[in-house]
Amino acid sequence: MTMTCFAASIGQRPARRAARYMCMKADEEVERLCSVLSDCVDVRSAVDAVDRSMRCAGVSEPSSSAEYIVGSVVGANSRSALRSRLDQSIGGSEKELIGNLSMRRIVRREPVQYLVGNWDFHHITLNVRTPILIPRPETEELVELIIKSETVRISQACSFLDIGTGTGAILLAILKQRANATGVGIDINPEAVRLSKENSDLLDLSSRSCFQQISIEEFVPETLFDVVASNPPYIPAKDMQTLEKEVKDHEDANALHGGVDGMDVIRIILQRTFQLLKPGGDLWLEVDPSHPEPIEALCRNDVSLQELTFVEKHDDFRGLARFVHIRRRRGSSRDVSSYR
Ligand SMILES: C[S@@+](CC[C@H](N)C(=O)[O-])C[C@H]1O[C@@H](n2cnc3c(N)ncnc32)[C@H](O)[C@@H]1O
C-alpha cells in the first residue's frame, strides 16, 4: 500500500466552509454506511460498502483503507488472506466494529495504520499507535541502503545507533536482517521508547537492542558505533502548514518539524557525529530533498565538521534526493571525553 506522507504528498487544506460541509457529509456518510452494513451478509459486501463510503467522503486510498479495516476485524492480516475470506459470513459484532473504525477513518481522518494497530515495515511487523510516527516506505529504502552498505556487509557484528527511533523501525528492521548486530535506539518522546521496547520484545530482539529516552543533544554513548542512522524531524516550517489532516491531527509534530529550513536536528547530529561514530564509520540520514546540497556544503566548509566526508546522496522511489551517506574519516581521533 502506498502511504500518504510527509511533505512529498501534501494535500492543501480546504477552506473553512468547505471543511464544515465535508464534516456534515462525513457524518451523513457514516450513518448511511452503518445502515448498509447491517444488511451485509459476507466479508465481500462489507468491504464494498466501506470502500464506497470512503470514496463518497473523499477519504484518500479508499480501497486499501476498506480492506485493512475489514481485514483487521475478520482476522485477515494480508490482502491475500482477505481475498480467501470474501465469502465468509460476517456477524453483528464484527459489523459494529467495522462501522466504528470506518467512522474514525471517515470523520476523524485517522490513518488506517493507527486503526489497525500494526504495520508491515521492511521484513517486520511493528505495533503502531498515535502519535508516534508511522514508518514510511521511504524509510524502508534507507534500511536497504544501510544493509547493503560495505561497512555492514564486511562487519557481521556491527553496532548501530538509531537517533529518533520512533517505533524502533530502522534499528529493529536492520537487527532482524543481521543476526550478530546490536544497537541502541534513542528518542526524546517517552511513548516512542515504550513502543520501540514493546516492538523489540515482540520481534525477539530485546537481547540485542536497547532503547533510551533522551535527546540527541544530551546522549553520551558508552562506546562509539559502527553505524549511526536517523530519520530525524526534517520538514521545513513552510511545509508544516500544508500537511494532510491524517498527519497533522494524529502524528506528533515534534517527529516532523525540523525548524525553519528543516535542518535543526540534522545540524545537531552532524556536530555530534564524532562523539557517536567510530573513525571510518557511516552516518546515514533521511532528509528533505532540499537538504543534501547544504549538508554537503557543511561537510566541505564547516571546520568543526572536518572529520566528515560527504560520500553520496541517494534518490527515493519518487526520484527525490532523500538520503545522504556521510563517513567519519579514518585516523580521525578527536578526544571524545573532552566534549562530554
Ligand atoms: C521522523 S520521526 C522517525 C521515527 C522512526 N525512526 C521512523 O523512521 O519511522 C523522528 C523521531 O525523532 C524524535 N526526535 C525529535 N527530536 C529529537 C531529538 N532532539 N532527540 C532525539 N529524538 C528526537 C521524535 O520523537 C520522532 O520519534
243 Cα to the center of ligand 1, angstroms: 18
**pLDDT score at 44:** 96
pLDDT of residue 45: 96
User: Which of 265, 272, 286 most suits a substitution to test ligand 1, by most atoms within 8 Å of the C-beta?
Assistant: 265
CB 86 within 8 A of CB 43: yes
CA 273 to chain CA centroid, Å, is 23
Q: Which of 254, 257, 285 to mutate to test the pocket of ligand 1 (most atoms within 8 A of CB)?
A: 254
The rounded Å distance from CA 292 to ligand 1 centre is 19
- From 165, 220, 228, 288, give the residue whose CB has the most ligand 1 atoms within 8 Å, as the site to mutate: 165
Q: Whose CA is nearest to atom 4 of ligand 1?
A: 166
pLDDT in tens, 15-38: 444 444 455 577 888 888 988 899
pLDDT at 23: 52
Neighbours of 113 (CB within 10 A): 21
Residue 141: what are its φ and ψ, rounded to 5°?
Answer: -65, -35
Q: Which candidate, 198, 30, 39, places its Cα nearest to that of 125?
A: 198
- The pLDDT score that the predictor gives to residue 34 is 86
Which residue ranges in the chain fall short of pLDDT 50? Answer: 1-21, 335, 337-340
Predicted local distance difference test score (pLDDT) of residue 333:
61
What domains does the chain contain, in order, with CATH numbers? 7-116 (no CATH), 135-339 (3.40.50.150)
Cα angle 126-132-138, degrees, rounded to a multiple of 5: 65
Beta bridge partners of 119: 126
Q: Within 6 Å (CB) of ligand 1, which residues are found?
A: 133, 135, 139, 163-167, 169-170, 186-189, 192, 215-217, 231-233, 254-255, 265
Query: What is the arrangement of strands in the sheet containing 321-328, beginning at the earlier edge strand?
Result: 209-213, 182-187, 159-163, 225-230, 277-286, 321-328, 308-315
